[in-house]
Chain A
Amino acid sequence: MAISFMACHALAGTQSNINSTIYCPSRHQPLVSGRLDVRRICVSMRAAAEKGHTSAASLPGIPRASKLITSAVAAKSEATTSSPSTKPGHEVLLFEALQEGLEEEMEKDPRVCVMGEDVGHYGGSYKVTKGLAEKFGDLRVLDTPIAENSFTGMAIGAAMTGLRPIVEGMNMGFLLLAYNQISNNCGMLHYTSGGQFTIPIVIRGPGGVGRQLGAEHSQRLESYFQSVPGLQMVACSTPYNAKGLMKAAIRSENPVILYEHVLLYNLKERIPDEDYTCCLEKAELVRPGKDVTILTYSRMRHHVLQAAKTLINNGYDPEIIDIISLKPFDLYTIGNSIKKTHRVLIVEECMRTGGIGASLRSSIIDNFWDYLDAPIMCLSSQDVPTPYAGPLEDATVVQPPQIVKAVEQLCQ
């Protein structure tokens, strides 16, 4: 029972104090017990509207719900959905979706440029920038020497003087070398200059635990950077949101770190042909439910979905939210979910100490303590460097059976 785009728009317009015609609905527009889940207008979207930017509305394509649930036991809300979109869209892999987003923005805005190691002629170590140097020239898609502090600093300087650079870290872990520039300058200079200089930079790259890449190449930088004030952080998990977030990040006036995952680059999905962006501050409701709220992001979303199949078969009804925005958290969506289910499970890839889960837990306790019926559970990696050996590596990452067990424990 997906609602058509126009209907949603109209209803949203009447039911909240929205004074802008631009909104960004989630791809999932399910009715929950007959009540319309009104989508909050994203701060950045309203700001964009006020500044007169082009529409950043995303269009609902084929509803996700129909692809996820393989079991017959489905929540009422995602039963037969009629696609409101008339265009078929096209199938892409996640890295191609990123590349499309990048290419479209580079065509649209001549100030957008890319810099990083091997992004130009080589096309990027994960082929996200493939073909761009041939199209835009090797000055605009810049191959840099191996000095992360150098090209991150360069990008910050270029951003402050009018360009919109995208910095690619070959692996997010290498950006630790650029931490000085990112923390002291990228995050701070807009503030310390009294708003005189903006830094509309996007820092992106693959991170997370891969397939036996070794400890140095399996880091979760989101837990190190989450404290830096002035930065926005988002994590993509599907081709749809990868392209949407890439475009939104490029258009944002704030410095945005876009976390990709090494193992998700070959995910395939059908995405709309039209121009769309995803909201940088909004979480994605992947599967509505009523028993427990599972908060997750990036690769763990797919582990959660796998676990969900088992859970549904066993009669549970989990609500799965991909938090997308790691900084700041979308407490509106998360809160609505908690008020419904009263139980929270966080599934993350970060380490137990100081990760996104730790901060999220703390935020939820601060804001929604009264709605919780059980302590918040958080499944995360152990506080160990990621080992190289395959079985050991698998043991440090949260696996679907763990998630199933955790939900069962939570719902007792």
Chain B
Amino acid sequence: MGWRLPLRTALWTLRGKQPKATADMVRELSHRREVYSAVPCHLHIFPILKRLQSSEPERACSQNMDEEMNDFMGRKVSYSSQMCFIPEESTNSVPCYRLLSTHGDLLDPSSINELDKELCIEMYRKMVTLQVMDTIFYDAQRQGRISFYVTTIGEEAINIGSAAALNATDVVFSQYREPGVLMWRGFTLQQFANQCYGNEYDLGKGRQMPVHYGSNELNYLTVSSPIATQVPQAVGAAYGLKMDKKDACAVTYFGDGGTSEGDFHAGMNFAAVLGAPVLFICRNNGWAISTPTSEQFRSDGVAIKGQAYGVRSIRVDGNDALAVYFAVKNARKMAVEEFRPILIEALTYRVGHHSTSDDSSKYRSVDEIEYWRTRRDPVARLRMFLQSNRWWDDENEDLLRQDLRTQMMSVLHNAESKKKPGLSNLFEDVYDVIPQNLKEQEQETQAIVGKYPKDYPSDVPLD
């Protein structure tokens, strides 16, 4: 018994049991020690706590002590004497969910019964609106009427399809290529133009660049350009929703490039640990300015990354508005009912330049851009589907586009003619109440601008 007695006593005492000096026990312990000797002792001893479930004080629950020998980190690990490295990529890449073929045919014709005709038409109308708005704003920038713009050409299906699947109370944290979500919720073309011109009617009071929209009323957080900073913020909002037990989720959008940021990793990890009801929607559009996805990551896209964090994920055809709609709808249901994050990778293509400060023909072939613009256009695809079902026709199309163009012209003209916010807007909202030092700075600035008006823009009121 010699040295085994203290060891056995120690082990049994740690497990809360009285030591029994039987030969069977000793044999069993020795056997276990041989088999599990590779496992560090302390992991047997501390129970795994179930945490982060409620704001009521709860006792942590521990696992059955007898099973702990098999468990690592709360899950069973099986041992194998065959050395096996997990391959860096699996033989099949994650399948991509789609409902429509490239030519707009329903892959499962019977699923037509699940579709709502009015909703499909409305989605299409909004996609066209987004396309027209983008084209006209882009041209306006080229003419020098606005300073900057970021188009969403090629990604209309992701914008509108996902927006249509969300509730109005779901909080949206976007990157900057998702105006369609705001548009679906009711932001008018005039409001978009006001923001781009930064006039006095801009909700942001002229303080941000174009495409940095935000609306408290529509639950769409003001866009902040640094990449992926919105991801942990969305998790924070979801945390609040979980604490308040609301029937709403947080939604965050980002591109393929954004998944390289530390904030993406941090946000995903923590959403999984916390069980936060948040949707991570990645617009994998193939390019991060000039960096193709082959230079962004070596994994099988973004959907595969979900599993590494313990997040349920799906890959969807981002140019198929209906697929995006249904995927997001189901994901939202899971997120809200089961308190879990969901990752959705929507495959698409960035047809436009990164922004008006970019000329993408410098790093990709014009043929490639043309191919995606003409042959894989998500708007045209949905149109083909609608028209093949006689839910839409060419006349509707022409009317809609003509009407939109007229609207946009008048909206631009309106926004241009409005005054810019007054000088006092420079100093307000830095804090809730303007402090003394900023008041002094405001007075100094007003004095200078008042003294040398010719050196300052004439359309900025002094008040």
Contact = CB atoms under 8 A, between A and B. Distances in A.
A47 B432 contact: yes
B334 to A, nearest CB: 20
Interface in B227-261: 229-237, 239-243, 250
Nearest to B57: A137
B435 interface: yes
Nearest to A111: B240
A229 B270 CA distance: 29
Contacts of B216: 193, 196-197
A60 B239 CA distance: 40
B55 A136 contact: yes
A282 to B, nearest CB: 12
A45 B202 CA distance: 31
B266 A149 contact: yes
B151 interface: no
B54 A137 contact: yes
Contacts of A184: 224, 226, 229
A237 interface: no
A334 to B, nearest CB: 12
Contact of A139 (B203, B243, B270, B432): B243
Best-surrounded residue of B221, B230, B241 (most CB of chain A within 10 A): B221
A139 B55 CA distance: 5
Best-surrounded residue of B202, B229, B273 (most CB of chain A within 10 A): B229
Contacts of A229: 430
A150 B51 contact: no
Nearest to A329: B437
B222 interface: yes
A140 B242 CA distance: 11
Contact of B236 (A155, A194, A328): A155
A244 B114 CA distance: 60
B233 A281 contact: no
Given A162-B240, A196-B203, A198-B432, A153 B222 contact: no
Contacts of A198: 432
Interface string A220-251: 00000000011010000000000000000000
Interface residues of B, number: 59
Contacts of B233: 153-154, 156-157, 160, 181, 185
B57 A153 contact: no
B340 to A, nearest CB: 15
A44 B266 CA distance: 35
Interface string B256-285: 000000110111011001100000000000
Interface of B: 49, 51-58, 171, 173, 202-205, 207-208, 212, 214-216, 221-222, 224, 226, 229-237, 239-243, 250, 262-263, 265-267, 269-270, 273-274, 428-433, 435-438
28 contacts: A44-B433, A46-B433, A134-B57, A137-B54, A137-B57, A140-B55, A143-B51, A145-B273, A147-B265, A150-B269, A151-B270, A153-B263, A154-B233, A154-B235, A154-B239, A157-B234, A157-B236, A161-B237, A162-B240, A181-B229, A184-B229, A185-B226, A190-B431, A192-B214, A192-B222, A194-B203, A194-B214, A328-B435
Given A163-B239, A193-B214, 6 more contacts: A137-B56, A154-B232, A161-B171, A180-B263, A181-B263, A192-B222
